[in-house]
Structure 1
Amino acid sequence: MTRKLILKKREVNVLVSLKWLNTYVTLPTNLDVDKFAETLTMASAEVDAVIKIGQEWDPSLVVTAEIVSIDKHPNADRLRLATVNYGAEDNQQVVCGAPNLSIGQKVAFGREGSELTNPQTGKKQKLKANKIRGITSAGMILSEAELGISDNHDGIIELATDTPIGLPLQDHLGDTILDIHIWPNRPDMMSMVGIAREISAILNNTIQHPLKYNLEASDNNQKIKVLVENENLCSRYIATIIKNVSVGPSPGWLQERLQSIGQRPINNVVDITNYVMFELGQPLHAFDLDKIDGNITVRSAHKDEPLQTLDNLERTLTPEMLVIADDSQPIALAGVMGGKNTEVTETTTNILLEAARFDPVSIRRTSNKLALRSEASSRFERGLSSHLALDATQRAIQLFIEITGATPPDNYVDIHPIPNENHEIQLARTRIDTLIGFYIPTTEVISILENLGFSVKSTTINGGDELFTVQAPWWRTDITIPDDIIEEIVRLAGYDRLPESTISGQIPAWEPNNELVFREEVRDSLVKLGWQEVITYSLTTKEVLQKVLPPEEIEGFDFFRLKNTLSSDREILRPTLRHSILETIERNIRLGANNIAIFEIASVYLSQKNNSLPEEKSLLTGAISGFEINRWGQPTSKPLDFFDAKGTVENLLENFDTKANYEHSEMFGFITGRTASILVNNTPIGFIGELSLDTLTQFGISQPTILFELELEILLNQLKLQKEFLPISKFPSVQQDLSLLVPYSVSVGEVQNVFENSIIVSSAEPFDVYTGDGVADDCRAVAININYQSMERTLSKEDVEKEQQKILKQLKKLYDIHPRF
């Protein structure tokens, strides 16, 4: 059976079976697991969860058993009658509907009265004898779901064939699993032996290393030769021919250990390679030797070279990917997954065992590019020691001889162009005391480091300072500087010994940050207007940017690319927010949203001359998409348009006592005539426009969308930070609505400015645009609400009429604008 633990194992976590761990380091007999987990968290790696399996199973009622016979159910086609031997004098017949039931199977059996988990409710329930389609069934052959191991209810648990009958299942499958978070710089802890080393140092006891088979390396004189084309991508490659392998099921102890950490046993050859990886931390791969054509070459893939991996997917490779190839084709994706063409099957008799040290960056890039994550790639990409490859090879050979009956190999090929480096690090006592803040005796320092596998020498130098000469063990690839060693000392000495002290010194005075305050006020203003803020990734791709930026800008732009990107969709620092907003709108429409009004305030990254660092600009980008809302709060058939978005911009600026002017503009991806530059004090601060159908189609958006963009730093510089009081007129105003025929070449903002330049016009607000019957094709009818008001006297009808005629003459002279009526 495969144990699918309820707690999902994350990429940088390992599952550790205490039963398995106890074979390497002796744990206390009456171990308090929760306290032990806390100790491990404080001194080494964080234990995210403790999973206790089997403690609730009654040892007398939940036992191991064997299926001795199977008969058809007389009243049901999908049910069968299984006779079970569970170690009692008489066998028990039960009704079972599991598809994987077979005679001779070793299974988990729950007798009447046992407390089991109901898969439908997830609650505990006592097992009672029941009639199922007329046949009494007093007991149950159990799946993982009934035992509470996982929610898998597809079939019964299949135990190893050598499992004793009548044994309490608690003794056979019961275990405690630690879910341990591993830091990216500690690949040595992604193994049982690695965790055992840490625990032995914490408990100050010895570690029992697994048995290995010692053999000599050959000078590439085996029947198969190995060529490594790029030593920087593969600093070590060990190949061993192992003959006369008998492929079959793994022994029970091996299956049980793999199952305890959520791994599915496959066959003894594959299980051994997986077992050694989880035991020592070194990924291995077994090729069917007889399927290899010629010799082995570790090389970069050819462009568009095909490879079917073990997951049965056809993959197209690129030259950035490292492959293992024979004389005719790739046979594995180095460090990630093997190829289907050299897969070990039941007919395999000879294998080629691979153990290597691949470049971490190359493996991670390949894994991300193909969206192919594996246990092997997660280890290689953290930087394994090349020494580990030999240890794992020797351990695997020992298991192949014991389990598969293989002939012991005479030698192996070891291509090791870049040898192990093992530097000595000088560490001064004064540095330890300064960094830690308390004194740790020399004997304790040496004891801690030696327990962790370091070699240490202590000497006294001129001036009386003590100097430690430290050499890290080969598996500690993360130790490079003195402070790394000090971290090792303090974590095992105990963080609780760090002295407590209050903050000393004067707290610095608060200094205002106008930019930060302004951004928060902008956010608040837009939220009050009913808009929603989004936060999107600052990384994108050139292909996405081509949808929103003109080709000449794309070609001339020096993009900032990540060297080691986590995803092929996130490789370039974005120079605009437009694509992010449009991607968010598309996603919301696809999920059923009708009306969308979103904005983002974030940095964009632009290239600078003679500077390798980008220029960061703070932008506000917002967009609306949808339909107008009626008085009952329901969307109408009229789409939101340019003026709805423009109204938001004007409301936003009014909160800062600022008005904007709008000038006709043309922008890539926007509709000509529905796009305008936004100016404050004649300074451009951004633009607003309706996106073209072509742009919307590229993002999968099928409804009109209007987008605006403001440069916040420029806008802030144009604002009056100190607000001025403007007196309010005590005289009544006169309001008039006027419809004007405005040519398309003239912006409405220009018309508005002419009105507002009048000394007695307090405001002029356009409120409607009409095109159609009665209006010439080269213009549109713009309706404007004009507010006349004087600070000195009440205006008469004649005053207003006189001023209006004066303004109309000016409009006709400047722009050839006439009243519509």
Structure 2
Amino acid sequence: MHISYRWLARHLDLSGHDPASIARDLTLHVAEVEGFHRFAPALDAVVVGQVLSREPHPDADRLSLCQVDLGDGPPRAIVCGAANVAAGQTVAVAPVGALLPGDIEIRRAKIRGQVSEGMICSERELGVSDEQAGIWELPAGLGPGQTLTEALGGADWVFEIENKAITHRPDLWAHRGLAAELAALWGRPLLPMETRLPATGEGPDFAVRIATPHCPRYLALPIDGVRAERSPEWLRLLLLATGQRPIDQLVDVSNFVMLDLGQPNHLFDRDRVAGGIEVREARQGETMRTLDGESRSLQPGDVLICSDDQPVALGGVMGGEGSKVAADTRRLLLEVANFDAAAIRATAARLGLRTDASARFEKALDPGLPLDAAGHLVRLLSELQPGLSLPAAPTDIGTWRDPAMSLAFRPERARALLGIPLTDRDIARYLERLGFGIEGDGATWQVRVPSWRATGDVSIEEDLIEEVGRLHGYENIAEQPIRADLSPALPDRRRAVVRAAQDSLSGGPAFNEALTYSFIAEPVVRAIGAESEPYTEVVNAIAAGLDRIRRDIVPSLLGLVEPNLRHAEELRLFEIGKGSRVEDKDDWGKPAEVHQIGLVWSRPAAGTGAAFDDTVQLRLKGVVEQLLSAIDAPPPTWRPAAAASRPSWAHPGRSALAMADGPAGEVPLAFLGDIDPLVARRLGWAEGRETAAASIDIDVIVGLPIHRRVFKDLPRYPGVKIDVALAVDAMLPASELEAAVRRAGGDQVAKVELFDLYGGAQLGQGRKSLAYHVLLQSDSRTLSDADGQRFLAALEQEAARLGAELRRA
């Protein structure tokens, strides 16, 4: 959320506090400020100019030659390409030497033969807005030569507030609320603000009916005699600084009140809702077109604002296309309502339509705020348009009640929890500055919680104690050494595995750790072909399409590949997390959790001249083996993965399981496989890449005995190196052939390394040849050629049992 320094100054005297100190105070006492920046700093270098004359450029149809008074001497000749420049205008001029956004320096130049001594600027060229339709025409009466910063009210800074820090504080989603926090912190009064509704006419009440419990309060106020005109610069600049796009006075004042007080509101063209207003829930299958032009499919639970039974707004989220304010609107209906937070959150999440309004209603707004917001809006609009009138009093109905309440509070309890010797007077002063009322004295007080803090934020005594500590300043609490009996924590094998895995993968393999949601997106489920698998469903999904919990880690990583490959050619990701298996139950009857390490490696495919083992899958196999060793898992035996054990994303012919002996037989430690090309296309990956993924089962590994790596002395005697090649059936796993090599050499086999894979016509149909480097070594003597011959003879017999043939030169 963006907050304007100049806007805060409308509510509080900021003297003595620069933007840096305000950012510090907010971070320490209110909410984290992620950063702050100067708004449109180019305004310091740009001055006010008066266009004295405009003549067509003699040599260019689309250019004008202007004489512009800058207040410091003779008029400047400036060539301008904007179609809307005219004599008599007050404009923004970048004089020679000014530096504009993009490091553009203005210089004296000849443009089609005419000297130009500056530049008449648009808002876009100054970094104020995206408006580029023409030059920025300033209000008449500004003195030529002033910098725009001086002429338009002074410099502004924008504070970037971390939204997650204020999700429990609806009052802080407004400039007035944040100013109140600073006022309490500094001991200064808020500047007065008149929000009483002006006198209204005695016309009939506008017809409003509420037919849903999701709308506790609805206020409707008719306003006549309005015009959709351009807003004054002070209003436009404040909105622009906070990320809003100015439209016209009607829309801008509506947005201003929302950002000022935190209460969303909506303006209808009253002629388009002449049938009155009904607030009801949507019917199954009902649709409406919102202000963004999108057709929305609705369902029961969504709040609709209707006129003549036709939806005119999606309550608490966005207005409707058919009732919006237009250039010819003269009669308004102002809506200021209070909606149920959970209902608005559910609608916005399901539709993927989170707006400034819904973000505030989701926080449980003070139901007492609508009348103040209505009065504030009318007074602001009447200052801009003195001719408007209120033909009737507001229709203000609903079942709402004031949420203000009292809580028992013990000062001694506050001192004990905070660990500081605050006096009762200090505690009372802090609470009263924040708007709390104090009744009684002695050991227990009654503290009155104001309505704007009582909708879910402050509900127990500890909340009040937190307020005292926050205003006092946690940084002002002296550090004290912890005095407690400390005992070492019990060893946790799972935690040790996770830590070792993080160290191993982020080291030599250079994998980056990802942290994803436990939910899996609907498009990813469809892309990997896993729609038929059982999932644990989420009732209150945080966003549309995230209504199920993932079963495994790898699919979450697959969803990250395409966006991350926009920034790098090669991608190595891992995540350590949980999946949910709804078909299995834990001890409490809930869906069982599975703990996994997921890995994904994607890179451009190797060229035709690459080595046989230069594939991403074999490289990832090495990473998995290194990882298993690092987490004290037993050495794996690799076997082809059967269809039943192969996930939907894996290539059917290029996947394997890492098996190990467990207490009751073999258990799978890990799965490794290439990504199915069809899955890759569905995920939108570019052609010409190879991607492999792996999944390591932490639960299985934790259940096995720790496999300790034992140091082995360096060999005392030289070994014998023998290269062997074996022709076998193409479907025989390499792991079985390697095991045969090791059996043939027995204890003398120190190392077996596959170095070549060959297939050719001379081998016969369905045959392949695997070549190995074999190192034979003894701990007691130097081996001779005779030992090598005995090994080859034994290997020939082992190979024959597998239907293999020892190839000889």
Task: Report the TM range for the smaller structure's normalisation.
Answer: 0.7 to 0.9
Report the Cα offset of residue 646 of structure 1.
3.8
For residue 757 of structure 1, give the secondary structure of its aligned residue in structure 2.
Answer: helix
1:51 to 38, 43, 49: 38
Q: Does 1:720 align with 2:707?
A: yes
AA matched with 1:184: T
Match of 1:189 in 2: 172
Residues 84-111 of structure 1: CA deviation (Å, up to 9, x unaligned): 567799876543233442455333456x
Aligned counterparts of 1:268 and 1:774: Cα–Cα separation in 2: 86
Instruction: Give matches, 1:633-712, under 5 Å.
Output: 640=615, 643-650=618-625, 659-666=635-642, 667-669=646-648, 670-681=650-661, 682-701=666-685, 702=687, 703-712=689-698
Aligned counterparts of 1:636 and 1:722: Cα–Cα separation in 2: 31
AA matched with 2:536: D
Residue 88 of structure 1 contacts residue 166 of structure 1 at CA under 8 Å; is this kept in 2? yes
For residue 218 of structure 2, give the secondary structure of its aligned residue in structure 1.
Answer: strand
Aligned counterparts of 1:250 and 1:527: Cα–Cα separation in 2: 55
Q: Does 1:174 align with 2:163?
A: no
Q: Which moved more, 1:620-629 or 1:332-341?
A: 620-629
AA matched with 1:13: H
Residue 117 of structure 1 contacts residue 145 of structure 1 at CA under 8 Å; is this kept in 2? no
AA matched with 2:328: T
For residue 736 of structure 2, give the secondary structure of its aligned residue in structure 1.
Answer: helix
User: Would the alpha carbon gap of residues 562 and 70 (structure 1) be closer, same or farther in structure 2, given more than 3 Å must change?
Assistant: farther
For residue 152 of structure 2, give the secondary structure of its aligned residue in structure 1.
Answer: helix
Match of 1:470 in 2: 447
Match of 1:377 in 2: 358
Aligned counterparts of 1:33 and 1:643: Cα–Cα separation in 2: 55
Residues 15-40 of structure 1: CA deviation (Å, up to 9, x unaligned): 241xx545544555x76665555555
Report the Cα offset of residue 385 of structure 1.
0.9
For residue 194 of structure 1, give the secondary structure of its aligned residue in structure 2.
Answer: helix
Residue 116 of structure 1 contacts residue 146 of structure 1 at CA under 8 Å; is this kept in 2? no
Match of 1:537 in 2: 516
Report the Cα offset of residue 327 of structure 1.
3.0
Aligned counterparts of 2:237 and 2:793: Cα–Cα separation in 1: 96
For residue 324 of structure 1, give the secondary structure of its aligned residue in structure 2.
Answer: strand
Residues 270-328 of structure 1: CA deviation (Å, up to 9, x unaligned): 22212222222211111112123634333444566554433444555555644323335
Aligned counterparts of 1:533 and 1:261: Cα–Cα separation in 2: 35
Instruction: Give matches, 1:570-581, under 5 Å.
Output: 570-581=546-557
User: Would the alpha carbon gap of residues 41 and 699 (structure 1) be closer, same or farther in structure 2, given more than 3 Å must change?
Assistant: closer
Match of 2:192 in 1: 208
| TM-score for the superposition, normalised by structure 1 | 0.82
Report the Cα offset of residue 433 of structure 1.
0.8
Report the Cα offset of residue 72 of structure 1.
1.0
User: Would the alpha carbon gap of residues 500 and 403 (structure 1) be closer, same or farther in structure 2, given more than 3 Å must change?
Assistant: same
Match of 2:85 in 1: 101
Q: Does 1:62 align with 2:47?
A: yes
Match of 1:7 in 2: none
For residue 325 of structure 1, give the secondary structure of its aligned residue in structure 2.
Answer: strand
Aligned counterparts of 1:23 and 1:622: Cα–Cα separation in 2: 53
Q: Does 1:71 align with 2:55?
A: yes
Aligned counterparts of 1:150 and 1:303: Cα–Cα separation in 2: 42
Residues 736-758 of structure 1: CA deviation (Å, up to 9, x unaligned): 403132362x4332333234234
Q: Which moved more, 1:483-492 or 1:46-55?
A: 46-55
Report the Cα offset of residue 795 of structure 1.
5.5
Aligned counterparts of 2:323 and 2:400: Cα–Cα separation in 1: 28
Residues 577-608 of structure 1: CA deviation (Å, up to 9, x unaligned): 22234344445656562x65554444434453
Residues 523-554 of structure 1: CA deviation (Å, up to 9, x unaligned): 555566645334141332254235447565x1
User: Would the alpha carbon gap of residues 164 and 355 (structure 1) be closer, same or farther in structure 2, given more than 3 Å must change?
Assistant: farther
Match of 2:596 in 1: 618
Residue 288 of structure 1 contacts residue 350 of structure 1 at CA under 8 Å; is this kept in 2? yes
1:741 to 728, 732, 736: 728
For residue 695 of structure 1, give the secondary structure of its aligned residue in structure 2.
Answer: helix
2:439 to 449, 454, 457: 457
Q: Which moved more, 1:578-587 or 1:84-93?
A: 84-93
For residue 671 of structure 2, give the secondary structure of its aligned residue in structure 1.
Answer: strand
Instruction: Give matches, 1:418-429, under 5 Å.
Output: 418-429=400-411
Q: Which moved more, 1:270-279 or 1:669-678?
A: 669-678
Report the Cα offset of residue 387 of structure 1.
1.0
User: Would the alpha carbon gap of residues 447 and 806 (structure 1) be closer, same or farther in structure 2, given more than 3 Å must change?
Assistant: closer
Q: Does 1:604 align with 2:586?
A: no
Residues 223-260 of structure 1: CA deviation (Å, up to 9, x unaligned): 5333333x1x3332222222343443445665565456
Match of 2:427 in 1: 445
For residue 216 of structure 2, give the secondary structure of its aligned residue in structure 1.
Answer: strand
Aligned counterparts of 1:31 and 1:531: Cα–Cα separation in 2: 46
For residue 316 of structure 2, give the secondary structure of its aligned residue in structure 1.
Answer: coil
Instruction: Give matches, 1:478-493, under 5 Å.
Output: 478-493=457-472
Structure 1: state its 5+ residue gaps: 1-11, 461-465
Q: Which moved more, 1:445-454 or 1:166-175?
A: 166-175
Q: Does 1:324 align with 2:308?
A: no
Residue 225 of structure 1 contacts residue 295 of structure 1 at CA under 8 Å; is this kept in 2? yes
For residue 195 of structure 1, give the secondary structure of its aligned residue in structure 2.
Answer: helix
Instruction: Give matches, 1:74-93, under 5 Å.
Output: 74-84=58-68
Aligned counterparts of 2:302 and 2:276: Cα–Cα separation in 1: 20
Match of 2:761 in 1: 773
User: Would the alpha carbon gap of residues 533 and 31 (structure 1) be closer, same or farther in structure 2, given more than 3 Å must change?
Assistant: closer
Aligned counterparts of 1:217 and 1:469: Cα–Cα separation in 2: 42
Residue 197 of structure 1 contacts residue 207 of structure 1 at CA under 8 Å; is this kept in 2? no
Q: How many matched pairs?
A: 781
Report the Cα offset of residue 341 of structure 1.
1.5
Report the Cα offset of residue 624 of structure 1.
5.6
1:430 to 400, 412, 421: 412
Residue 288 of structure 2 contacts residue 320 of structure 2 at CA under 8 Å; is this kept in 1? yes
AA matched with 2:722: Q
Structure 2: state its 5+ residue gaps: none
Residue 686 of structure 1 contacts residue 710 of structure 1 at CA under 8 Å; is this kept in 2? yes
1:234 to 215, 237, 255: 215
For residue 675 of structure 1, give the secondary structure of its aligned residue in structure 2.
Answer: strand
User: Would the alpha carbon gap of residues 316 and 793 (structure 1) be closer, same or farther in structure 2, given more than 3 Å must change?
Assistant: same
User: Would the alpha carbon gap of residues 237 and 500 (structure 1) be closer, same or farther in structure 2, given more than 3 Å must change?
Assistant: same
User: Would the alpha carbon gap of residues 137 and 789 (structure 1) be closer, same or farther in structure 2, given more than 3 Å must change?
Assistant: closer
Aligned counterparts of 2:125 and 2:259: Cα–Cα separation in 1: 28
Instruction: Give matches, 1:309-388, under 5 Å.
Output: 309-317=290-298, 321-327=302-308, 329-388=310-369
Match of 1:5 in 2: none
Instruction: Give matches, 1:252-331, under 5 Å.
Output: 254-255=235-236, 258=239, 261=242, 263-292=244-273, 294-301=275-282, 305-317=286-298, 321-327=302-308, 329-331=310-312
For residue 366 of structure 2, give the secondary structure of its aligned residue in structure 1.
Answer: coil
Aligned counterparts of 1:341 and 1:278: Cα–Cα separation in 2: 25
Residue 605 of structure 1 contacts residue 614 of structure 1 at CA under 8 Å; is this kept in 2? yes
Residue 634 of structure 2 contacts residue 660 of structure 2 at CA under 8 Å; is this kept in 1? yes
Aligned counterparts of 2:158 and 2:653: Cα–Cα separation in 1: 64
| TM-score for the superposition, normalised by structure 2 | 0.83
Match of 1:753 in 2: 739
